[in-house]
Amino acid sequence: MKKTLALAFVASLLAMPAFAADVCNVPADKAQSKDVLKAQLEKDGWTVRQIKDQKGCYEAYAVNAAGKRMENLFDPETLKMLDVEAD
């Protein structure tokens, strides 16, 4: 039983990066620009250091309004923050 649970846990960990890689399958013509995302985050009080492409998503490195360092993935089409771990 313990071996089965351990194997299931390891398998789920291995599947997580694949899930993150498949989240942002947005055609280029539907993606908003990184400048729009930067403006949105700055409006929310974030200080944006960098926004880069990460497996089809936008990955923002910033400091939020509370002073906490942030590293988050965003959907390029909707600019919504995604609840996935970055690789």
For range 10-16, the mean pLDDT: 48
For range 29-48, the mean pLDDT: 96
Q: Is the pTM of this model over 0.85?
A: no
Rg of the chain, C-alpha, whole Å: 16
Beta strands 47-54 and 69-74 are: unpaired
Contact between 52 and 71 under an 8 Å Cβ cutoff? The reply is no
Beta strands 57-63 and 69-74 are: antiparallel
> What is the band of 23 on the pLDDT scale with cuts at 50, 70, 90?
confident
